Amino acid sequence: MKNKSLGVALVALTLLSATVLFVGCKKEQAATDPAATETTQAPAPEFAEVPLDENGIPYISEEFGSEDIYYAPKGEATLTINQIPDSDNSECLISNRGTNNSGIYVPVDDFRCNTINVATSVKSMNANILLSLQYDIYGNTTYVTIAQCAPSAISYTRVGGEIQIPNNATNISVYIEAGDVKDITVDYIRVSVVGDYIDPATVPVEELMDVSDYPSLSELYSDYFRFGVAIPTTIVPNENEEFRNLVSHEFNSITLENEMKPENILDGETCLADPATYNESPALDFSSLTETLDWAQENGIGVRGHCLIWYSQTPSWLFYENYDVTGELASRELMMTRMENYIKGVFDWAQENYPGLFYSWDVVNEAIGDNGGLRDCYWLQTIGDDYVQLAFQYAREYADPSIELAYNDYNEYQPSKMEDILEMLAPVAEAGNIDVMGMQSHMTAGLSVDSYVEAMNTYADELGVSIMITELDIGAPNSANPLYDQGVYYQEFFEGLIAAVDAGTPIESVTVWGISDDTSWRSNTTPLLFSGNLAMKSAFEGVVCAITGDELTIPDDYVVVEADYSPIYEDYENGEFIGFTRYSSVIEVVSDNPYEGESCLCNSEGTATYDGYCIDVSRFAGTSIHYSFAIRCDTDTCYFTADIENEWPHIEEIDTSSGEWILVEGDYDVPANLTYLQLYFESIDMTEFYLDNLSIMVIEEGAEEAELTEETEETAETAETSEQGT
Ligand code: 9MR
């Protein structure tokens, strides 16, 4: 139940709101942009001390009704606490949001070193809401998505997830943001510790490593491709020089991870203050970039521009008549003019101030939707289907010929996405306006390197472009030796790239998406080459070994795994299960009409059909298994599906239209030679479903069993580390 002392909170929030309205600082600019420091900052709110639960562990439950306040507006936003009609409860309305990442934050420094569970419930007209974590790593700000949902505007949608806060993090907060600047209403924000609590006071922040003796990737790979890294603008002014040293020592290319995206370059304040003057040619502000670009130039480091035209991190006001989001969307003609002038403005500035520094630019980013076809977005809605072609046409017109123009996307190696990308880019290639396919490559260890190389060759051949791997990060597997196994895969992957270049694949650059695991947007999958204090990981050594031919060091604490064919059986009677949610569904043991006994498992609240209940059976590789289970669902069809290294064959299509329990059983030959296999249950339209009496047992051990089991155990995979959607 929420606290009812609403009066005090309202007074506090009215004060807060009134001040916040005047704050106009942009996300990453506060530290470096002199203009930002001149704006009137809201006074730091008085946060209440985080309460402890009965075991002395910090626990925040912000319900917006108490005088103890654990939240504050993030960026430009107004927070108003309203009582929910006919209820004792209250909710927080976030309005006047200046940018997509403006919203509300809750400081969580008391939870450093711990895995936390963060849960909230939101209503909004925004197409998606993100629950994110922000922290500094030795002065470098990092943003990590914890969970996201497609909310309803009229009823609350719950969104939550778990995240590990790095030991070396400081200034830690969780916050709510959205894909657009529309209002968000929040019912509550809760933060709790998962597992045993580690008192942050007992874990000091580590010393940064001296990186000067590390082997240099850009030198080692100089005959093959440029070696790049994505960085924030905070590393140049940072008092810790180790980050700068590492970047200039290891890499000869940088991409600014966020700061060259439209929302950071478009000058909203100027455009909105004088829409008539800037109606056709939006005002631009590059002041937050110069320090980093000057440094890159002084150090002979090339830059990839990222990115010009994107559905995300582009303010919605850009798409409206008079930049007024309460009015009409702008016409096709006006948006074509704004697009052309934006692209021209960015290239003119780059060429005037940094001639020769940029060697490539992502002209269009992520135009294909997760369900195929062109992604619905403001560019599509205002200009129409040819917006991608127009963007490349303008880019070709205004970019210096030395800047190679790229299309950039994720899941780009998956066959169906490839088809869509190739179809979309065919006319662009025909017109001679594209030079590069940007393969983001947010991957998981286990993806077939051969099919990845095949994808690169297909793009190169069909579009006549070269390849840049633009955002590489490879999540560590959930195995007995995750970091070593990740190193093995990094080595395999780079050996594949080297062989591909030798065979003629035109790979021009490879960029890793971040410096260290702690600064990665996917930090909980530890996907990068260096750990938080910049120590070399097996992943780094794997990349080095791929080119030197050396053997990866087996760590002292390497765990040898015995073959394990013990059967799986779950009747949920004791409340336990070994499986886990794929992405964001909620799994719980319930007593709602079980098949047998008192309990069964319920999977609900998925936001995509593949948000299901998942069991890792990697240890059964190369065997035949027998499965049986009872399933019940109020929709027509459920699937029992295999997730095998980025293929998702349905093992069973189950007719659940009766709404009654259906008993399913069968045999399945688990492929050998795979690095991971998960079996999962899903309903065709995200309707909640129930499972009971689930059994999986090996009926015939494979010939290659001993060798493969060991290999497979080492590289078993989790759904967590999978890339964005399937
Ligand atoms: O790594 C970036 C992260 O810090 C930002 O919060 C996020 C916001 O959208 O963007 C991340 O970078 C994305 C890149 O610009 C485009 N491809 C996907 C990347 C990961 O989300």
Q: What percent of the chain has pLDDT over 70?
A: 90
| pLDDT at position 32 over 60 | no
**Amino acid occupying residue 460:** A
**Which of 13-17, 80-84, 236-240 is least confident?**
13-17
Ligand 1 midpoint to CA 479 (Å): 27
Strand-pair partners of 306? 362
| pLDDT at position 16 over 50 | no
Best CA proximity match to 8, nearest among 46, 60, 41, 40:
46
At residue 20 the predicted structure's pLDDT band, cuts being 50, 70 and 90, is very low
Q: In what order do the strands lie in the sheet with 169-178?
A: 72-74, 103-107, 169-178, 129-137, 140-149
| pLDDT at position 581 over 90 | no
- Ligand 1 atom with least separation from CA of 144: 6
pLDDT at 29: 31
Q: Are 359 and 404 in contact (CB under 8 A)?
A: yes
| pLDDT at position 22 over 50 | no
At residue 716 the predicted structure's pLDDT band, cuts being 50, 70 and 90, is very low
Tokens 């590489």 correspond to: 472
Q: Which tokens in the block code for residue 674?
A: 């795979």
**Which is it for strands 404-409 and 358-365: parallel, antiparallel or unpaired?**
parallel
Catalytic residue, candidates 366, 508, 605, 682 = 366
Q: Maximum Cα–Cα distance for the chain, whole Å?
A: 75
471 is an active site residue: yes
Q: Which tokens in the block code for residue 424?
A: 């979309």
| pLDDT at position 720 over 70 | no
Mean pLDDT computed over every residue of the chain = 89
Best CA proximity match to 509, nearest among 471, 535, 566:
471
Check if 11-196 and 568-725 are the same fold: yes
Ligand 1 contact via 168 beta carbon (within 6 Å)? no
508 is an active site residue: no
At residue 62 the predicted structure's pLDDT band, cuts being 50, 70 and 90, is very high
At residue 708 the predicted structure's pLDDT band, cuts being 50, 70 and 90, is very low
How far is residue 314's CA from residue 311's CA, in Å, rounded to a whole number? Answer: 7
Cis peptide before 307 (omega within 30 of 0): yes
Q: Are 510 and 469 in contact (CB under 8 A)?
A: yes
**Which of 468-482, 500-514, 534-548 is least confident?**
468-482
Q: Are 674 and 439 in contact (CB under 8 A)?
A: no
Q: Are 409 and 440 in contact (CB under 8 A)?
A: yes
Best CA proximity match to 226, nearest among 254, 267, 200, 264:
254
Per CATH, which fold does 568-725 belong to?
A: Jelly Rolls (2.60.120)
Q: Best substitution site from 174, 471, 517 to test ligand 1's pocket, by max atoms within 8 Å of Cβ?
A: 471
Domain at 11-196: CATH architecture: Sandwich (2.60)
Q: What is the pLDDT of residues 667-676, one digit of tens each?
A: 999 877 566 7
Ligand 1 contact via 362 beta carbon (within 6 Å)? no
How far is residue 174's CA from residue 62's CA, in Å, rounded to a whole number? Answer: 12
pLDDT at 99: 84
Ligand 1 contact via 312 beta carbon (within 6 Å)? yes
The domain spans of the chain are 11-196, 568-725
Q: Which tokens in the block code for residue 611?
A: 């948000």
pLDDT at 707: 41
pLDDT at 609: 77
Q: How far is CA 447 from the centre of its chain?
A: 18
- pLDDT top residue among 145 and 40: 145
The mean pLDDT of 87-102, rounded to a whole number, is 91
Strand-pair partners of 284? 266
User: Torsion angle of alpha carbons 117, 120, 126, 132, nearest 10°?
Assistant: -30
Q: What is the pLDDT of residues 617-659, one digit of tens each?
A: 988 988 999 999 999 999 999 999 998 866 788 999 999 999 9
The mean pLDDT of 153-157, rounded to a whole number, is 95
At residue 12 the predicted structure's pLDDT band, cuts being 50, 70 and 90, is very low
- pLDDT top residue among 455 and 44: 455
How far is residue 569's CA from residue 588's CA, in Å, rounded to a whole number? Answer: 17
Q: How far is CA 142 from the centre of its chain?
A: 12
How far is residue 348's CA from residue 342's CA, in Å, rounded to a whole number? Answer: 10
Q: Which tokens in the block code for residue 671?
A: 């492929």
- The half-sphere exposure of 610 on its side-chain side, counting CA atoms within 13 A, is 20
Q: Best substitution site from 259, 521, 524, 724 to test ligand 1's pocket, by max atoms within 8 Å of Cβ?
A: 521
**Which is it for strands 436-439 and 442-444: parallel, antiparallel or unpaired?**
unpaired
pLDDT at 28: 31
- pLDDT top residue among 225 and 645: 225
Q: Whose CA is nearest to atom 12 of ligand 1?
A: 257
Catalytic residue, candidates 91, 340, 404, 471 = 471
Q: Which tokens in the block code for residue 664?
A: 């399913």
Q: What is the pLDDT of residues 271-327, one digit of tens each?
A: 999 999 999 999 999 999 999 999 999 999 999 999 999 999 899 899 999 999 889
Q: Are 90 and 81 in contact (CB under 8 A)?
A: yes
| pLDDT at position 702 over 70 | no
**CA-to-CA separations, 378 to 266, 305, 427, 492, in angstroms, rounded:** 16, 22, 21, 40
Q: Is the dihedral of CA 452, 453, 458, 463 positive or negative?
A: positive
Ligand 1 midpoint to CA 520 (Å): 10
Q: What percent of the chain has pLDDT over 90?
A: 77
Q: What is the pLDDT of residues 401-459, one digit of tens each?
A: 999 999 999 999 999 899 999 999 999 999 999 999 999 999 988 888 999 999 999 99
